Amino acid sequence: MNPSLSIYDNLGGEKVIRRLVETFYPKVQADPLLGPLFPEDIDPVMEKQYMFLSQFFGGPSLYSDTFGHPMMRARHLPFPVTRERAEAWLACMTEALEEIGVEDALRDFVIARLSGPAFHFVNTP
């Protein structure tokens, strides 16, 4: 991990973010707590997540350029996000990072950066 580069560049840019998203969502769909919240056609969700994570990790602002201000907590309000679901989401992301071969230090850094938003989106006891 090179601390003077963005997460986006540390991961390896567009191709790796795509591979991460494509590895992550099958895990989300298979998770008993998360799967039922998501539509059967996961492709549009994957595309939005690819756009969002690209910018969240310091790459091009693909999501905002298309959808405006992310307002991610607000966009999650229609869904019952519990603490357990935030933990499950982060566990799926940890597994996906490991599966695509991201080194431990970078993986831990990415998960730390995503943990803030994940627990911030909790809206249901």
Contact positions vs ligand HEM (CB under 6 A): 34, 37-39, 45, 48-49, 52, 56, 67, 72, 75-76, 79, 81, 85-86, 89, 114, 117-118, 121
**Least distance to ligand HEM, CB of residue 105, Å:** 20
Quote the Cα angle for 96-61-67, to 5°: 95
Task: Please identify, using beta-carbon distances, which residue of 4 and 10 lies nearer to ligand HEM.
Answer: 10
Tokens of 67: 């959808």
The Cα 106–Cα 25 span in angstroms is 20
By beta-carbon proximity to ligand HEM, the closer residue of 11 and 34 is 34
Tell me the closest approach of the beta carbon of residue 56 to ligand HEM, in angstroms: 6
DSSP state of 39: -
Rounded least distance, CB 30 to ligand HEM, Å: 14
